[in-house]
Amino acid sequence: MSDENHDETTPEAPSKPGRRGFIAKTGLAIGGGVVAAQMIGCGNESPATDTNQAATPGAGSDETPGAEGEGHLSTDVEPGQLDDYYGIWSGGQSGEVRILGVPSMRELKRIPVFNRDAATGWGATDWSKELLKGRSSGDTHHVHLSYTDGTYDGRYAYVNDKAQGRLARIRLDLMEVDSIVDIPNSFGTHGIFPQRHRTGLVFCNSEFRAPLPNNGTDMDDKTKYSALHTAIDGESMEVKWQVQIEGNLDLAAADYEGKYSFACCYNSEGGVTLEEMMAADRDYLYVFNLENIENAVSGGNTTTIGDSPVPVVDARGDNGPFVLRIPVPKSPHGVNISPDGRYAICSGKLSPTCTVVDIQKIAQAFAGDIEPRDCVVAEPEVGLGPLHTAFDGRGNAYTSIFIDSVVTKWNIEKAIQKFGGQDVDPIIQKLDVNYQIGHVNASMSETKNADGKWCVALCKFSKDRFLPVGPLHPENDQLIDISGERMRLAHDGATYSEPHDALIVDKSLIHPVNVDPRDLPRYTQINAWAEEDGINLMQDNRVVRKDDNHVRVYMTSRAPAYGMTEFRVKQGDIVTIIDTNQDDVEDLSHGVCVTNHDVNFGINPQGTQSMTFTADKVGLFWYYCPWFCHALHLEMRGRMIVEPR
């Protein structure tokens, strides 16, 4: 389907190759040309044959990017003013989560999760080392918030580690990780999603099939490979159950009533190479029946895998009481639920279509009254390489189109009417983005309160959009105004590799604190040490020798001085520094950096942190506050004297 009736392009500088030519080249490079060739053969035109001509920046409007016109939203946030939304971004292979202000797109904070962060000491402090279990990297793809009654409750954010099969939870009042759980027998944990009716289960998909248990048997028999759909309690962070399934599980979703969870399944062929995984014309949307699964778990109709005690429901094979397999076009990636809770929308990477599934029909399909495919009520053609879909709360959907590098705005009800034979066009507009968009999300889109103001396109390539910075280019997060009938590109924002997903959350729903709460899990160990040693953490400065080789150093910080300006240890001592920030002034952090010992960590107001290291060198070593806290900040220091043993 040609784009000529659904305009929008973005201009290139005259000396640059045209965007369509660039996309054609890069698209055909995917999979050695196999992917793009198959997609182009699905009935849509090649990107190279698109008839669009270059338009003004901010395609589809008369304004340049960032300009404010009649009926348009502005990205301007004046000095001293606050943004309207929190943007919560995954950090990709950095292993972190990032907090942005929207619409300014200013980066406000980086929350270390699975990574080592030298600024705060995350990954080196005692508590964070315990959580990370010696690992210092991860791959965060999808970040989602806890819900109550279909909207965000501001309590938690959950994020996956695709690299090492983990789920982390962030306390949103502190914006710090408070729990990390390893998911047993899960490889390539990718899509996650929490239940929306309450803070209940968080569903996690393992993308990579493997022989289970993965103990060295059946490694060459790919027919024995399987994957797992895992449910983790969002409050206790306990793995509750798993469902064993035959296919690769990609993105996840949950309905608004607590009845179903969803997973896109690609590679229903059970292949292990690119060509094998693309052979079939259709794959599936898996729908998990939570009531039937939990009845099986409570009734003991489960098994276990390897040395994991987690109950496993074996749902491999045909449709049954636990899983409904709805056929959808090949290699589906994203699955997203409309704000009214009525529709699940899948995107097939190797089809130009989205598949609209009526959730109200799913119970009939589970009962056998209709076929699973009868749940499909629309399949609009949206472009080459659809991935993810966002919503504006007005009945419209916004789908990211990877190969075409556009966001397609389309109307759900018109798509259903067209599927039923009516002569209507559901496609409203296609807006060029730069370049090769992955995720797309809109303000409050994943809640019942989608407000239809902003949409963000997370583009994998930036190419010529920013100053060159060497071979590793930044990625490009493009903010789009969706408040009117037509989309308008409003802002380009360079970002470090590689955010996969993002949320835009009304600021009224999140309530960060100004000082460190004392009920954090890290205080369990710290308080036990203090009680054992008779220490008041908020007042005392004392060195406690535990044995010949272990020393605890309790100290306090108050700008511009430490409560202890000297302590002595012996060479080879294992030293634990436990520092409490006595200041209760908002924004007044302290820290401890011990020179030449790889010790550096921060302490928030009224907080306590600890870090353990070995004093392996004889001599005098200064420790100092690395956080600028006072006019006499440089004088805030003390001496660690390491004596010969």
Residue-wise pLDDT tens digits, 112-155: 999 999 999 999 999 999 999 999 999 999 999 999 999 999 99
pLDDT(63) > 90? no
Residue 275 has what pLDDT?
87
Residue 320 has what pLDDT?
87
What are 19's two structure tokens?
């965007």
pLDDT(512) > 70? yes
Q: Which residues pair with 613 in a beta bridge?
A: 575
Between CA 613 and CA 576 the distance in angstroms is 7
Question: CA nearest 72: which of 57, 85, 61, 88?
Answer: 61
What band does 325 get if pLDDT is binned at 50, 70 and 90? very high
Name the CA dihedral angle for 463, 464, 467, 473, rounded to a multiple of 10 degrees.
Answer: 0
DSSP letters of 38-70? HHHTTTSPPGGG-------SSTTSSSPTT---T
Residue-wise pLDDT tens digits, 73-97: 999 999 999 999 999 999 999 999 9
Residue 22 has what pLDDT?
44
| Helix (H) and strand (E) counts in the chain | 8, 40
pLDDT(65) > 70? no
Question: CA nearest 451: which of 493, 504, 410?
Answer: 504
Strands, DSSP E only, in 571-632?
573-581, 590-594, 599-603, 608-615, 619-624
Q: Which residues are CB-neighbours of 437 under 8 A, at least 6 positions away?
A: 387, 400, 401, 402, 405, 406, 407, 457, 458, 459, 460
Burial class (CB in 10 A: 0-12, 13-18, 19+), 550: middle
Q: Which residues are CB-neighbours of 114 under 8 A, at least 6 positions away?
A: 95, 96, 132, 135, 137, 138, 139, 140, 161, 163, 164, 166, 168, 180
Q: Which residues are CB-neighbours of 169 under 8 A, at least 6 positions away?
A: 156, 157, 158, 177, 178, 179, 180, 234, 237
pLDDT(34) > 50? no
What are 607's two structure tokens?
């907080």
pLDDT(50) > 50? no
pLDDT(536) > 50? yes
Write down the architecture of domain 523-643 according to CATH. Answer: Sandwich (2.60)
pLDDT above 90 covers a percentage of the chain that reads: 82
* Residue 293 Cα distances to 132, 229, 401, angstroms: 31, 11, 35
Residue-wise pLDDT tens digits, 176-234: 999 999 999 999 999 999 999 999 999 999 999 999 999 999 999 999 999 999 999 99
Element (H, E) at 506: strand 502-506
Find the length of the chain. 645
Decide which of 531 and 282 is more confident. 531
Looking at residues 442-452, what average pLDDT do you find?
98
Give Rg (Cα) of the chain: 27
Question: CA nearest 181: which of 527, 603, 521?
Answer: 521
pLDDT above 70 covers a percentage of the chain that reads: 89
Looking at residues 416-422, what average pLDDT do you find?
98
Is the four-CA dihedral 390, 392, 395, 401 of positive or negative sign?
A: negative
Asked if 185 contacts 212 with a C-beta cutoff of 8 angstroms, the reply is yes
pLDDT(11) > 80? no
- Helix ranges, 213-342 (H): 274-277, 290-298
* Residue 197 Cα distances to 156, 172, 293, 447, 624, angstroms: 15, 19, 18, 10, 48
pLDDT(44) > 60? no
Max mean pLDDT among 30-34, 68-72, 295-299 falls in 295-299
What band does 51 get if pLDDT is binned at 50, 70 and 90? very low
What band does 18 get if pLDDT is binned at 50, 70 and 90? very low
Average pLDDT over the chain, rounded to an integer? 89
pLDDT(443) > 90? yes
Residue 71 has what pLDDT?
67
Between CA 557 and CA 239 the distance in angstroms is 39
Question: Domain boundaries in the chain?
Answer: 523-643
Looking at residues 566-593, what average pLDDT do you find?
96
